Chain A
Amino acid sequence: MSDDDRTEQLGSAIETIAKEQKTLECAVSVRDYNSDFRFSMKSDRLFHAASTIKVAILLAVMKAVDEGRARLDAPLHVRNRFLSVVDQSPYKLDRESDGYPQLYKSIGRTAKIAELADCMITSSSNLATNLLLDFVGTDEAAKVLRDAGLSGVHLRRGVEDENAYDEGINNEATADGLAELFAAFRGDFLSKNSREHAIHILLQQRFTSMIPAGLPSHATVAHKTGEISTVCHDAGIVYLPEREPYIVAVLTEVDPDSNGRRETVAKISKVIYEAVTGTRTGK
């Protein structure tokens, strides 16, 4: 099958799934390192990045390590006090809505940067995220993204910065932007050690009901999900033992009251897998 035919069939399949699931918007970006096949659907549309932005912070942390500005084994003070990017007013995070509430027991003490990076990605801890962003600096992290050539990921603030949200200052990403971000973990932007460390963390992801759920059991995925009331995303690198990996980013905008949003991403992941590998996985 030609790439054009694959593209047409995949686009049609994704549109059918999105329509059936009543998804308001759906954007997809695919890059296959095995065949050079690329697929884009609304891939330059900006979405609220939700927790996928944590991958950008991981990139900034690993770059800081490479440049000697941070050490993975260095202790960082754990505290729940952050300053809004709008007016520097302090705010704190809600323990109950954090993916890793155990970290709040460490308030006042220190945690290693490596542990915080792990919590930020595998458990999607908002506290770990803001601690690392506060340490690296939002401006510095945004500069790292620019240096990496990423134009589709906009890092502007920490998590739960309500003052910024009210001002319309949000972290945003396109499907192409997230695909480029994951590609940066495969290129030479980071040192080999930092690349391997970051990929290892991303492979330990605990939330597996989206991209991995649409794949055969022998697939492994280095990925990060992102969900708030109106968006549901997943993006990452899919590893299959028989071939080179592919990168996939699926971003959706949904009705806040809708059900089955994760299943939608899983179904899209499945048809992407079939298109990329030329196999059928059944229902």
Chain B
Amino acid sequence: MSELDMEVVDGLTLSEKHRELLRPGEAVEDEHGNSHRLPRFFFSVPSWKKAYETRLAPHFKLAELMTVDCREADLLLNEFPHYVPCAVTLIARYLEDLRRDADAVVLVGANGGYRSPVHQRNEPKSPHCWATAADIYRVGGTYLDDEKSIAKYADMAQSLGPQVFARPYTKGDDHLHIDLGFITVTPRNCSEGLAAASPDVQKHVRPKTSPQ
């Protein structure tokens, strides 16, 4: 993360409209009644140019993991900066390992990386809202739209570590979903204290180690 040269923002300091959509730090329940806090710290992405220039891993650019379609809220789709949870770097790392093991290009589809809690394809409890999930549509020349191909790469993904969940094939699937669960990342010089959200506190925080 220290090499990304991208501003990190505390979601609690964003505009009211952004906070309504991103719901930073808010607790949501999953289908089992477990409570999880949505991400609070985000990379502030100033442009698509920056998103395409920013490599999260040798073969994965930030753009690939933040591309959404018009089911995203207008403000988040059409206006910069875009805000992407800091944990996006982690899923990129695992995708890179999957690419290495598959020895082929791994294509994460649109809507397949970070989606906000208000994205119409989403539920707020989806790991996509944490930027810790990826929907993989193609590996090399193989579209993952049948049981055999999905099972093959699901096994490969799960072998990367116990923290990786790969959803088993169900009838009609057209991609492989993998995720790391509900991980949130707090950059080193960011505070999780509520004071950080006060208007008196500097709103945008840049990690100390990032290039100026």
Which chain A residues lie closer than 8 Å to B109 at the CB level? 77, 79, 107-109
Q: How far is the CB of B198 from chain A (nearest CB, A)?
A: 37
Question: Are B107 and A77 neighbours in the complex by a CB distance under 8 Å?
Answer: no
Question: Are B107 and A74 neighbours in the complex by a CB distance under 8 Å?
Answer: no
Q: Chain B CB within 10 Å — which of A74, A78, A79 has the most?
A: A79
In whole angstroms, what is the CA distance A214 to B127 when docked? 58
Interface: A199 (CB within 8 A): no
Given known pairs A75-B110, A77-B109, A77-B110, the reply for A110 and B171 (CB within 8 Å) is no
Interface residues on A, range: 20 to 34
Interface: B70 (CB within 8 A): yes
Number of A-B contacts (CB under 8 A): 57
Question: Are B67 and A110 neighbours in the complex by a CB distance under 8 Å?
Answer: yes
In whole angstroms, what is the CA distance A74 to B109 when docked? 16
- Name the one of A71, A77, A92 contacting B172, with C-beta atoms under 8 angstroms: A92
Return the chain B residue nearest A79 by Cβ. B174
Question: Are A91 and B110 neighbours in the complex by a CB distance under 8 Å?
Answer: no
Interface: A89 (CB within 8 A): yes
In whole angstroms, what is the CA distance A246 to B20 when docked? 52
Interface: A216 (CB within 8 A): no
Question: Are A113 and B112 neighbours in the complex by a CB distance under 8 Å?
Answer: no
- Name the one of A74, A90, A91, A92 contacting B69, with C-beta atoms under 8 angstroms: A74
Question: Are A108 and B70 neighbours in the complex by a CB distance under 8 Å?
Answer: no
Question: Are A81 and B69 neighbours in the complex by a CB distance under 8 Å?
Answer: no
State the majority secondary structure of interface residues on A.
Answer: loop
Interface residues on B, range: 20 to 34
Interface: A70 (CB within 8 A): yes
Question: Are B172 and A108 neighbours in the complex by a CB distance under 8 Å?
Answer: no
Q: How far is the CB of B15 from chain A (nearest CB, A)?
A: 22
Interface: B71 (CB within 8 A): yes
Q: Chain A CB within 10 Å — which of B71, B108, B121 has the most?
A: B71
Question: Are B110 and A81 neighbours in the complex by a CB distance under 8 Å?
Answer: no
Given known pairs A70-B70, A80-B145, the reply for A92 and B174 (CB within 8 Å) is yes
Which chain B residues lie closer than 8 Å to A108 at the CB level? 107-110, 112, 137-138, 175
Interface string of B165-179 (1 = CB under 8 A from A): 000000111110000
Which chain A residues lie closer than 8 Å to B13 at the CB level? none
Question: Are A77 and B71 neighbours in the complex by a CB distance under 8 Å?
Answer: yes
Q: Which of A98-151 contact B (CB under 8 A)?
A: 107-110, 113, 135
Question: Are A77 and B171 neighbours in the complex by a CB distance under 8 Å?
Answer: no
Which chain A residues lie closer than 8 Å to B184 at the CB level? none
In whole angstroms, what is the CA distance A271 to B106 when docked? 57
Q: Which of A35-94 contact B (CB under 8 A)?
A: 70-71, 74-81, 89-92
In whole angstroms, what is the CA distance A108 to B108 when docked? 7
Q: Which of B71-112 contact A (CB under 8 A)?
A: 71, 77, 107-112
Q: How far is the CB of A73 from chain B (nearest CB, A)?
A: 9
Question: Are B69 and A107 neighbours in the complex by a CB distance under 8 Å?
Answer: no
In whole angstroms, what is the CA distance A81 to B110 when docked? 14
Which chain B residues lie closer than 8 Å to A81 at the CB level? 145, 172-174
Question: Are A71 and B70 neighbours in the complex by a CB distance under 8 Å?
Answer: yes
In whole angstroms, what is the CA distance A75 to B67 when docked? 10
Which chain B residues lie closer than 8 Å to A77 at the CB level? 69, 71, 109-111, 121
Which chain A residues lie closer than 8 Å to B110 at the CB level? 75, 77-78, 108-110
Which chain B residues lie closer than 8 Å to A75 at the CB level? 69-70, 110
Q: Chain B CB within 10 Å — which of A74, A79, A80, A108 has the most?
A: A108
Q: How far is the CB of A112 from chain B (nearest CB, A)?
A: 9
Q: How far is the CB of B54 from chain A (nearest CB, A)?
A: 19
Ordered nearest first, which 10 A-B pairs have the shortest CB separation? A90-B172, A108-B137, A108-B109, A74-B70, A81-B174, A77-B69, A110-B110, A77-B110, A75-B69, A77-B111
Q: A81-B174, A135-B71 given. 19 additional CB < 8 A pairs?
A: A71-B70, A74-B69, A74-B70, A75-B110, A76-B69, A77-B69, A77-B71, A77-B110, A79-B137, A79-B175, A81-B145, A81-B173, A89-B171, A90-B172, A108-B108, A108-B109, A110-B69, A110-B110, A113-B70
The 24 listed contacts between A and B (C-beta, < 8 Å) are A70-B70, A74-B69, A74-B70, A75-B110, A76-B70, A77-B69, A77-B71, A77-B109, A77-B111, A77-B121, A79-B109, A79-B174, A80-B174, A81-B145, A81-B173, A89-B172, A90-B173, A91-B172, A107-B137, A107-B143, A108-B137, A108-B138, A110-B69, A135-B70
